[in-house]
Amino acid sequence: MALLTRFPLSIVIPLFLSMVALVIEWHAFRNAQMQSDDDVVRDGQEFVNQLMIELQSSINNHLLKGDLEGARTTISRHAANPKITLLVLVDDGGKVMNSTNPALVGLNIGQGVPDVNPSLMALAGKTLANKLSVGMGSNLVAAYYPVIIDSARRDFRPHRVGIIHLRYNLSGDLTEHRAILLSQARLTAVFYALCFLLLAIFLHQILTKRVKVLVAAARQIAAGDLSAHTGLQGQDEISQVGEAFDRMAVEIARNNQDLEQRVSERTRDLQKKGEELQDIQKALTNIVEDLAVKTRELEQSNVKLKELDQLKSLFIASMSHELRTPLNSIIGFSSILHDEWIGPVNVEQKENLSIILSSGKHLLNLINDIIDVSRIEAGKIEPNIEEFDLSDLIAEAAAMLEKEAQDKALELRVVAERVRMCTDRCRLLQCTLNLLSNAIKYTEKGGVTIEAQLIDSPGAGTGEAAAEISVSDTGIGIREEEIQKLYQPFSRLESSLHATAPGTGLGLYLTRRVVAEVLMGDILMTSSYGRGSRFTIRIPARLP
């Protein structure tokens, strides 16, 4: 099939049809030849059958008259027929009585004619009926026919006197018939050739020529010439294809024009966008330069801030020492005077000493909170882990603030389980005091309850046992809008007790930072405004 695509359709189609016709004609010729051969063989067999009947009748008549020479003459007469290659009269003993070939007379049939068919000879020798036995060779009909003598006397039965063997050559008839068929086939081939030549001319006019027009127009369009047209018109399929092709070319030209217009518009848009991008790039460059300047300024500011932070740390370290030393002296001596260790004091003096003692302690706590804030923000606080009993720590915290609760006529309830802890005792006590002090500070009536127990909670951070310390009160509570600033440094909630309750706003901030960063736990809170609050510290019972 690939070979056929190398030639035009005006050649391929007639050539293909010629090949088909050639195959059909070949098969027809072969069938006709076979039929002709069969007819020749059938005619030959009929001729042999008729000839054998005539020979048998003639020989029978001569033998009945006792004219043996006449019987021989009957056989010799057929020697001139070129189609009869051999005619032999054989007696029942197999001896040749007469033949068209005189050299065979007197010989045994098997010796004189070696290729005789013994089975057909035997079949002809076994019957007294006039039955022809025929065998086919190579273009040869071999016939065996018994010679039966019908006696005129009724006291004698018919008897066989011999067998006639005839060989009839069909080659001449076959050659003649085949020559006739061959000449007819040649005439048919010439007729087909003329028909296919006319078909090729016809196809070239109505098919190939117009297909070439389509191909030429397609190549022009492929080369970029969108003005190409076929100009084909008509009702046949190729004309319809040509008209569709012309419409397609027009549509392609229109689309190409639209596309060029769109490309032109898009190009202008891209150029405009490119200009805008250049402007944006310049603006970004300026911004980057400004950012670089600001970055350098920030770096310089960070250097200054680090210097200020160092100065702050040095200031806090030096001032904490310079402030706590005289404060401790003031607190110590005022406590000695207040407790009348060196002599009695009057009521007014005792009240003044109480004010001095409470103010000194408040100032000392403020200094300690500021120092702790500085240490936490610098990340310099590390846990001091030790073994202790949680109930002892709770009892100590309650004892330290029991007097404040009694001064406000508040009930201080302690419910603590004995739990072995392994954590920073000092920091846990500081956090507990901050929560308990706030509860007492913002509670005017009712009471404060501190509870401690061991729970199994993965929220402690390790998935093992955790300690939970809860401080609940019946105080003023906290509004929902103020909860978000509850743990901010130096932040105090607005309340009626703001003026009378002392504080710096660092207690809860320090407590949350210490619980989270030192004790590895968390602090929770629930509150109802006007009814009280509950703060809960939840930390691992044992730090690693």
Name the average pLDDT for the chain. 79
pLDDT category of residue 502 using cuts at 50, 70 and 90? low
Among 294-303, 355-364, 403-412, which stretch is predicted with the lowest mean pLDDT? Answer: 355-364
Residue spans in the chain of domains classed CATH 3.30.565.10 = 381-540
Q: Is the dihedral of CA 55, 61, 64, 68 positive or negative?
A: negative
| pLDDT the model gives residue 3 | 57
| pLDDT the model gives residue 9 | 62
Mean pLDDT of 294-314: 81
In this model, does residue 209 exceed pLDDT 60? yes
In this model, does residue 474 exceed pLDDT 60? yes
Q: pLDDT, tens digit, for every residue of 418-447?
A: 999 999 998 899 899 999 999 998 899 999
Check: CB of residue 88 under 8 Å from CB of residue 99.
yes
Check: CB of residue 10 under 8 Å from CB of residue 212.
no
Residue spans in the chain of domains classed CATH 3.30.450.20 = 6-179
Q: What is the pTM of this model?
A: 0.42
Q: pLDDT, tens digit, for every residue of 113-151?
A: 777 777 777 776 666 555 666 666 667 787 877 877 665
Mean pLDDT of 265-289: 89
Q: Which residues contact 254 (CB under 8 A, 6 or more apart)?
A: none
Helix axes 237-338 and 347-378, enclosed angle (nearest 10): 150
Q: Where are the beta strands (DSSP E) in 343-396?
A: 385-389
In this model, does residue 200 exceed pLDDT 80? no
Question: How many whole angstroms separate alpha carbon 524 and alpha carbon 448?
Answer: 17
Looking at domain 381-540, which of 3.40.109.10, 3.40.50.1000, 3.30.565.10, 1.10.1660.10 is its CATH number?
3.30.565.10
Mean pLDDT of 260-273: 88
How much of the chain exceeds pLDDT 70, in percent?
82
Mean pLDDT of 300-306: 85
Q: Which CATH superfamily is domain 6-179 in?
A: PAS domain (3.30.450.20)
Question: How many whole angstroms separate alpha carbon 467 and alpha carbon 421?
Answer: 8
Beta strands 420-424 and 385-389: pairing type? antiparallel
In this model, does residue 293 exceed pLDDT 60? yes
